[in-house]
Amino acid sequence: MTIAGSDSGGGAGIQADLRTFSFHCVHGTSVLTCITAQNTLGVTRVDAMSPEAVTAQFETVMVDMRVGAIKTGMLLNQEIVKTVAKKFVAFGLGNVVVDPVMVSRTGAQLLDDAAVKTMKDLLIPLAAIATPNRYEAQILAEMEIHTLADMQTAAQQIYKLGARSVLIKGGAMSGALKAVDVWFDGDRFEVLQTEAIDTQHTHGTGCTLSAAIAANLALGKPHFQAVQEAKNYVTEALKYGLAIGRGQGPVGHFY
Ligand code: PLP
């Protein structure tokens, strides 16, 4: 299941998640939190779903279908973050990937300021894996991140918020750290390094990664293996980025 926003440009959000699920041969269900009007240049409008609509979508699927894993993406506001956290507790869910989506690469705010604290207090503690990028990790860990050591310290801080494991993504780092992600599960650190792909068509990278992790968890893979394979998937998708607009195109899923 993905709990996220719709991207009318089809590059990120629900659209990227469902494509990623299909690629992994798992059936995708979706709970829409909001509808963004968006293209490769940016977001022009966001309409929120009501918390009641979010609850109804979630419960209607959950009471009938066996959901193997869930990822959360763009949750937009505090009410939706609270609603989702409450439902996770009520249903006692374990395989939850929290992608703490806050700001898009084009600079659009995807989570209200008030919701950031709620995300920290209520949702991160329910995550089997939290997947912040550099900027989100800086906010969650309340520190600046410049080096690999900073990434590791931030991962420890976010782990202390209650996530069972943390993956800090290096995509927004510069130089050699760009393709380096750091994973921490309270016990061991892993540094995941792939080749850096030189492309401007990176829209949907974060969504695709967290969706691939959720798909791998649904397939019964151990957490770290789920993360490793998801990172490799995203690396391949970046090689096939699509130049289909005047701005930042989506990562490709067609290899
Ligand atoms: N979800 C939605 C609906 C979005 O529009 C965006 C970015 O614009 C994101 C999530 C985050 O995108 P990315 O995967 O590029 O971090």
Q: In CATH, what number is assigned to the domain containing residue 133?
A: 3.40.1190.20
Q: Is 39 in the pocket of ligand 1 (CB under 6 A)?
A: no
User: Contact, 144 vs 112, CB < 8 A?
Assistant: no
Question: What are the φ and ψ backbone dihedral angles of 43, each rounded to 5 degrees?
Answer: -100, 130
Q: Which residues contact 69 (CB under 8 A, 6 or more apart)?
A: 1, 95, 96, 97, 214, 215, 217, 218
Q: Within a domain: residue 95? A: yes
| Residue 153 Cα to ligand 1 middle (Å) | 26
| Residue 71 placed within a domain | yes
Share of the chain above pLDDT 90, in %: 92
**What is the reported pLDDT for 108?**
78
pLDDT in tens, 231-247: 999 999 999 999 999 99
Residue 250 within a domain: no
Nearest CA to ligand 1 atom 8: 104
Tens digits of per-residue pLDDT, 151-166? Answer: 999 999 999 999 999 9
Nearest CA to ligand 1 atom 10: 13
Does residue 229 lie within any of the structural domains? yes
Count CB-CB contacts under 10 A for residue 47. 11
The reply to whether ligand 1 has any atom less than 6 angstroms from the CB of 15 is no
Q: Which two tokens stand for residue 102?
A: 């806050």
Instruction: Give nearest CA residue, ligand 1 atom 2.
Output: 13
Rounded Cα gap, residues 77 and 120, in angstroms: 13
What is the distance between the alpha carbons of residues 38 and 61, in angstroms, rounded to a whole number? Answer: 27
Query: Cβ(4) to ligand 1 under 6 A?
Result: yes
Q: Against a cut of 0.80, is the pTM above it?
A: yes
ipTM, 2 decimals?
0.90
Crossing angle between the packed helical segments 223-239 and 205-218, to the nearest 10 degrees: 140
**What local confidence, expressed as pLDDT, does residue 253 receive?**
86
- Decide whether any atom of ligand 1 lies within 6 Å of the 51 Cβ: no
pLDDT at 17: 98
Burial class (CB in 10 A: 0-12, 13-18, 19+), 149: exposed
Pairing mode of beta strands 180-184, 189-193: antiparallel
Which band of pLDDT confidence, cut at 50, 70 and 90, is reported for residue 145? very high
Task: Check if the beta carbon of residue 55 is closer than 8 Å to that of residue 25.
Answer: no
Let me know if residue 30 belongs to a domain. Answer: yes
Distance 187 CA to ligand 1 centre (A): 31
Sheet with 2-7: strands ordered across: 42-48, 30-39, 2-7, 70-72, 96-98, 129-130, 166-168, 180-184, 189-193
- Using a 6 Å cutoff on CB, does residue 150 contact ligand 1? no
Kindly state whether residue 254 falls inside one of the protein's structural domains. Answer: no
Q: What 3-state DSSP class applies to 177? A: helix
When pLDDT is cut at 50, 70 and 90, the band that residue 178 belongs to is confident
- Measured distance CA(155)–CA(109) in Å, rounded: 23
113 pLDDT band, cuts 50/70/90, is confident
Does 251 reside within a domain? Answer: no
Q: Is residue 247 part of a domain?
A: no
Answer yes or no: is the C-beta of 17 below 6 A from any ligand 1 atom. Answer: no
Specify the residue with its C-alpha closest to ligand 1, atom 1: 13
Active site residues: 169, 202, 204-207
Q: Is-contact 8 39, C-beta < 8 A?
A: yes
229, two tokens? 């394979």
Give 171 or 103, the one with higher predicted confidence. 171
Q: In which domain, by residue range, is 143 found?
A: 2-239
| Mean pLDDT confidence for 85-95 | 96
- Please state, rounded to an integer, the average pLDDT across all residues of the chain: 95
Per-residue pLDDT at 57 exceeds 90: yes
Cα–Cα distance measured from residue 179 to residue 202, given in angstroms and rounded to the nearest whole number: 13
Number of domains in the chain: 1
